[in-house]
Structure 1
Amino acid sequence: MSGLCGWIGHGAAATDNRQLVEKMAGALARFDASSIQSLAGGESALAVSANRESAHVYQKEGLLVAVWGQVGFKDARLAQMARAEGVAKILADGWRAKGGQACADLSGAFSLCVLDENAGEALLAIDRMGSNPLSYQVSGECLVFGSSADALNLHPLARSEIDPQGLYNYVYFHMIPGAGTVYKSQQRLLPGEYLIYRNGKAETRKYWEMQFLEDQKLPMGELKQEFLQLLHSSVREAVGTQQVGAFLSGGTDSSTIAGILGAVSGEPARTYSIGFEADGYDEMDYARIAARHFSTQHHEYYVTPDDVVAAIPQIAAVFDQPFGNASAVPAFYCARMARADGLSRILGGDGGDELFGGNERYAKQRIFSLYERIPSPLRKGVLEPLVYNFPGGQRVSLLRKARSYIEQASVPMPARLETYNLLERYGPEKVFTRDFLATADAGQPLSRLNATYGQAHAHSLINHMLALDLKFTLADNDLPKVVKACEMAGMEVAFPFLNDEMVAFSARLEPELKLKGTKLRYFFKEALRDFLPNEIITKQKHGFGLPFGVWLQDHKPLQALAADSLTDLKSRHIIRADFIDKLLGEHLDEHAGYHGTMVWVLMMLEQWYRQR
């Protein structure tokens, strides 16, 4: 993986420090064999593992600076100076003048560190969307950090005791949301956040937060023109000087990126799609529609159950903590195609849903929110007594549906979004052992959701949900999934929708232009109606879902791997043995697709333990 790592407050000789930091950086380069640049002082060191275009370092008079990523400066004067003197040098000047707020001058996807040995201070930061992760740990008078915990843990002062709360959160969310990690002593920076370390203490602050400007009303034609210009500039910026390709699922986001890529490059885009031989999962027809429409150089691969068996240990190894999004498998095989085609960077359409209102749950929650508009006396005094107390109501389909609607609509946001959470459906006490549950706070996941939802700078329901998804769906889940899958294939990935100007544009769209009634991403589709094929505009959202549960019913090697993994997981005394037996037995027989998700989540937990 590309990334950076290092520390301040430990060591005595620059030569020894350099050897140690390069050992740490080796964990970042083990998949793509990227080159390593290192700097060392008397009690600090840093290293960047990346290609030359994405790595920037600077050292002078006790100041060590590193930046990793596709980074630029918002100010034209600073951008010009960076081209002449180097990105890291200009960041060093910004640190001296502004401290942590120098991060606000940067644009793009990045992580960075500034180590000031003379002052005994350090600065860490990541980009606004959280594309480039950074974990850290304070150990005595030393701050250790790394883009991956695998690198951080190689430092002699690192502590890697497993945090039961991290494991609980993993089973709840199928990933571990930041700022927490799977390790007790380690934290991760949140999107748009920087850390200042001084006097043995670390303090995090925000240099950027999403601010929704909900009252701006501009003509549709003007918005459309600006949006199309931003699409072209953001794709052009993501391409840089490289030959690139694009993921193509056949959805609106990936199809848009593929079409714009062809337009800005002046030649047919190279596109890559994954299919499955499983009813209800294959979206290849839509990918082919988009490929024909934009005349792309299209490449396809059908993932098999044998491919899944082969990829599972590798997927577990590339993630530095448990990760349960099964779509990492098709993303890997898609990126591997692009790598075999001679490319080193691929464009992803991630972020479009979270910026422009594309997830099905947005429309569903809009319907539930209508119940809150009914006056409370009418709800409590008339409707609910009628629905709940009507004689024989359980036998009347309409009343059963009304009762279900009222029950869900009465749950406050954002807890209502977790109505179908797998762990909540099973019941934590039936999934986890009693001893394990005594070490974790079962209420923490919802507390984290509530905090993020409540802190959103928005008034509308849709923007509150978008703010929540920018954190939990995008930064904590989808971006790591794609980035790590591409890392395993030896590929870089860029996300044009997450361009800073595109994010700012989405923030000032009226809420009704994102969700108009129950029409998802209304503005996005209207703006691209003459650009995308109509079949893509009107299709149901799907994506690179993996038919794991379906294949698990019949594929013997997959069954054996899952059963072996979950049997070994029993010995860790985290998950109840009787739950595992029931899950592999009657639950899978009841609904393979639904319960197969939990099999995958627990299997990947055990696989991660094996790869540590």
Structure 2
Amino acid sequence: MCGVHGLYRLDGQRVAAETLSAMGNITQHRGPDDEGMHIDGACGIAMRRLSIIDLAGGHQPLSNQEQTLWLVCNGEIYNYRELRSELQAKGHVFKTGSDSEVLLHGYAEEGDAFVQRLNGMFDFALWDARRRRLLIGRDRIGVKPLYVLQDGQRLAFATEAKALLALPGVEPELDRSVLASYLQLGYVAAPLCIFKGMRKLPPATLLAVEDGQISEWRYWQLPTRIDTSLSEADWVARVRDQLDKSVHMQMVSDVPIGAFLSGGVDSSAVVGLMAQHSSQPIRTYAIGFEGGAAEALYNELPYARRVAELFGTQHREILVKPDVVGLLPKLLWHMDEPIADTAFITTFLVSEFARQDVKVILSGAGGDEIAAGYRRYLGGHYAARFQTLPAWLRRSASFAARHLPADRHSGLLNTLRLAKSFLASTELSPDARYASYLQVLDRQAVAQMLLSEQAGADPLQDALARVHSGDELQRMMAVDLETQLPDDILLLTDKMSMAVSLECRVPMLDHELVELMAAIPSAIKVRDGRLKHILKQSVADLLPADILDRKKRGFGTPMGAWLKRELAPLLQRLLSPEVVRTRGLFRSEAIQQLMADHAANRIDGTDALLALLNLEVWSRIYLDRRDPADVALELKSYLA
């Protein structure tokens, strides 16, 4: 695990070592244990290393015996032992015990196609000196991020965008064409990037530079064929077997390892299976919030404690009332791009807590996307039932829904919020209904908020257009795997865990498990309105019923309540008419109306307000070039 970066000079000039060093220095948090670089004329590749496997011998860049191939790789290749044995049998001589070295010899044996043999999470850069060819790539699911900058003179890449800002002549500039998409989704989806001139390499993508020509292609697609030949019992057995293999494979490490534990189905299943493969108690980590009723809704410590006791883990938990104002600038600097998902705060805090003991952590992230765990996946199920009601009753219910209060931090108001969202979508097409559940702001609200909407890509609609087969549920899940999963959940997981030099692994996203789950019929994935039915059945002998069927709660913070209470002055200052006019992006009156509607519970504007607030804090750090600590002091003064 580390951060990789590099530069290919299209103009033929030699890459300067100082340039690569500057790129690496800004991402030292990703790899505090080691650094290295290799420069061959117009190409230079480099890394910062967090030592996990082959602590003494895994220095990068790695090279073959002839020193004609050079590699830097960030992440882990979980099936490296099997691949190593196969390659050694064919005569390849390994210099190290590093898992990454199999990529080097695999490329020598099979070329670009070898990447399809890898089981892991990674981004990498490989320099083929004989062909004068640079190859960079990203894992199938997009667990590890990779940013690219390309102009007429160079192509540069880095695990974090901020490393590209260290390049000579690169100035941080907002790409206004992504603002509409950002406000709609609450994150910047690939291939878009918040910085003008940069982009994110999509998951499962390779990019090559050879003879001054740049080519890019996908090497993997989510299978679309549904297998109707197996019984539910057969699927249960297959899912359990593959999940067990994934967890066991991802426990490989030469340093202490632990697990995040929320007490939900996904993290509990991972911990339970880890316990079966370990002779020592698994180290588990959980987080809860101090405060009142809103905080209590997000406190999952009792569930985590129950699972920890069940499997005899070495459990640690932390109860926090986070200094959000002090944290935001620092965390948004690490994120590279603004985001409206409050899970980035929670993930940082629990990562920081776990890093006191371990270097590697396993997470249940991805379980909702592969096993159908989100409420929105029931939209079509309940819409069909709703359509059986008399037309007058449907019209009355939809009219009444417009006047329902909404707030996610009260049990009753959260139920009304969900009902309001559902009733507003019942007459929409399946694609439009899905988009309505996902969006932070709808297109009309975005248009009213932006001063000038520049033409830009719409990643959600582009992803929907690429998915041609499957029923409504399969379609939603496939799009989530291309958008929200890599560009929201996995991006924040990577950035927040690596901010404290912690490697986070996601066994639920082993690509073989993902492919298996994609082939299961929707009627088995979700049975009679029961989300995650097949996954729950596969671990029914492992987890008790109160954990399997507990009410879902996202891994976030009670931010909406805080914005109405202790953080209200911060919101008023950062989104004041004067600040908004000075920044020159939005109509102040639209933002003021949004704030008023949220405060009065007419809408739940948590995500929209956080998207705007975080964009302003991000702008002060990156566009105004201010130190995050200085911005934090300023924000704290607003609450004094």
Structure 2 gaps, min length 5: 403-417, 623-640
Cα distance in 2 for partners of 1:396, 1:486 equals 40
Verify the 8 A CA contact 2:141 2:203 in the aligned structure 1: yes
- SS in structure 2 opposite 1:3? strand
Verify the 8 A CA contact 1:249 1:543 in the aligned structure 2: no
Q: Give the drift of 1:71.
A: 1.3
Q: Which residue of 1 aligns with 2:611?
A: 601
Q: Does 1:231 align with 2:243?
A: yes
Cα distance in 1 for partners of 2:235, 2:330 equals 44
Verify the 8 A CA contact 2:281 2:314 in the aligned structure 1: yes
Q: Does 1:68 align with 2:74?
A: yes
Q: Which residue of 2 aligns with 1:48?
A: 47
- SS in structure 1 opposite 2:45? strand
Q: Which residue of 2 aligns with 1:21?
A: 20
Q: Give the drift of 1:547.
A: 0.7
Q: Does 1:81 align with 2:81?
A: no
Change (3 A) 1:440 1:573: farther
Q: Give the drift of 1:121.
A: 2.9
Q: Which amino acid aligns with 1:298?
A: H
Q: Which amino acid aligns with 1:332?
A: F
Query: What do the CA deviations read for 1:11-48 (whole angstroms, capped 9, x no partner)?
Result: 8887x633321221122214662421211111111112
- SS in structure 2 opposite 1:602? helix
Verify the 8 A CA contact 1:164 1:440 in the aligned structure 2: no
- SS in structure 2 opposite 1:136? strand
Q: Which residue of 2 aligns with 1:339?
A: 355
Query: What do the CA deviations read for 1:222-270 (whole angstroms, capped 9, x no partner)?
Result: 4333333333322222221232111111110011112112221123222
Q: Which residue of 2 aligns with 1:153?
A: 165
**Greater mean alpha carbon deviation, residues 284-293 or residues 311-320:** 284-293
Q: Which residue of 1 aligns with 2:256?
A: 243
- SS in structure 2 opposite 1:151? helix
Cα distance in 2 for partners of 1:75, 1:159 equals 43
Q: Which residue of 1 aligns with 2:525?
A: 514
Q: Which amino acid aligns with 1:257?
A: V
Cα distance in 2 for partners of 1:593, 1:101 equals 50
Q: Give the drift of 1:174.
A: 0.9
Cα distance in 2 for partners of 1:204, 1:94 equals 20
Alignment of 1:286-435 (within 5 A): 286-304=303-321, 306-340=322-356, 342-368=357-383, 408-419=425-436, 421-424=439-442, 427-433=445-451
Verify the 8 A CA contact 2:359 2:501 in the aligned structure 1: yes
**Greater mean alpha carbon deviation, residues 413-422 or residues 492-501:** 413-422
- SS in structure 2 opposite 1:520? coil
**Greater mean alpha carbon deviation, residues 43-52 or residues 231-240:** 231-240
Verify the 8 A CA contact 1:550 1:592 in the aligned structure 2: no
- SS in structure 1 opposite 2:189? coil
Verify the 8 A CA contact 1:217 1:510 in the aligned structure 2: no
Q: Which residue of 1 aligns with 2:265?
A: 252
**Greater mean alpha carbon deviation, residues 128-137 or residues 207-216:** 207-216
Q: Which residue of 1 aligns with 2:509?
A: 498
Query: What do the CA deviations read for 1:28-81 (whole angstroms, capped 9, x no partner)?
Result: 214662421211111111112122446653345654322221015589455543
Q: Which residue of 1 aligns with 2:120?
A: 108
Verify the 8 A CA contact 1:363 1:517 in the aligned structure 2: no
Change (3 A) 1:160 1:308: closer
- SS in structure 1 opposite 2:323? helix
Cα distance in 1 for partners of 2:32, 2:602 equals 39
Query: What do the CA deviations read for 1:457-487 (whole angstroms, capped 9, x no partner)?
Result: 6422221111111122211111112111212
Q: Give the drift of 1:220.
A: 4.0
Cα distance in 2 for partners of 1:200, 1:355 equals 40
Q: Which amino acid aligns with 1:470?
A: L
Q: Which residue of 1 aligns with 2:415?
A: none
Q: Does 1:198 align with 2:210?
A: yes
**Greater mean alpha carbon deviation, residues 359-368 or residues 404-413:** 404-413
**TM-score, normalised with respect to structure 2:** 0.83
Cα distance in 2 for partners of 1:84, 1:454 equals 46
**Greater mean alpha carbon deviation, residues 328-337 or residues 413-422:** 413-422
Verify the 8 A CA contact 1:100 1:195 in the aligned structure 2: no
Query: What do the CA deviations read for 1:373-420 (whole angstroms, capped 9, x no partner)?
Result: x9xxxx9xxx76x67999x996899xxx99997873442232212325
- SS in structure 2 opposite 1:509? coil
Q: Give the count of matched residue pairs.
A: 586
Verify the 8 A CA contact 2:189 2:484 in the aligned structure 1: no
Change (3 A) 1:456 1:78: farther
Change (3 A) 1:12 1:451: closer
Change (3 A) 1:464 1:394: closer
Cα distance in 1 for partners of 2:433, 2:39 equals 51
Verify the 8 A CA contact 2:378 2:529 in the aligned structure 1: yes
Q: Which residue of 2 aligns with 1:3?
A: 3
Verify the 8 A CA contact 2:186 2:339 in the aligned structure 1: yes
Verify the 8 A CA contact 2:597 2:603 in the aligned structure 1: no
The share of aligned pairs that are identical, in percent, is 25
Query: What do the CA deviations read for 1:140-164 (whole angstroms, capped 9, x no partner)?
Result: 1421111111112222264643211
Cα distance in 2 for partners of 1:566, 1:389 equals 37
Cα distance in 2 for partners of 1:395, 1:256 equals 41
Cα distance in 2 for partners of 1:396, 1:579 equals 23
Could you tell me which of 275, 282, 287 is aligned with 2:299?
A: 282
Cα distance in 2 for partners of 1:63, 1:393 equals 63
Q: Which residue of 1 aligns with 2:498?
A: 487
Query: What do the CA deviations read for 1:486-506 (whole angstroms, capped 9, x no partner)?
Result: 122321100011112222221
Change (3 A) 1:245 1:72: closer
Cα distance in 1 for partners of 2:25, 2:143 equals 21
**Greater mean alpha carbon deviation, residues 473-482 or residues 100-109:** 100-109
Cα distance in 1 for partners of 2:593, 2:223 equals 46
Verify the 8 A CA contact 2:156 2:164 in the aligned structure 1: yes
Verify the 8 A CA contact 1:247 1:346 in the aligned structure 2: yes
**TM-score, normalised with respect to structure 1:** 0.87
Q: Which residue of 2 aligns with 1:552?
A: 563
Q: Which amino acid aligns with 1:58?
A: L
Query: What do the CA deviations read for 1:78-99 (whole angstroms, capped 9, x no partner)?
Result: 5543795266665345445654
Q: Which amino acid aligns with 1:565?
A: L
- SS in structure 1 opposite 2:430? coil
Structure 1 gaps, min length 5: none
Q: Give the drift of 1:519.
A: 1.7
**Greater mean alpha carbon deviation, residues 90-99 or residues 18-27:** 90-99
Change (3 A) 1:542 1:407: closer
Change (3 A) 1:335 1:74: closer
Query: What do the CA deviations read for 1:527-562 (whole angstroms, capped 9, x no partner)?
Result: 21221121111111102221112123332xx33433
- SS in structure 1 opposite 2:263? coil
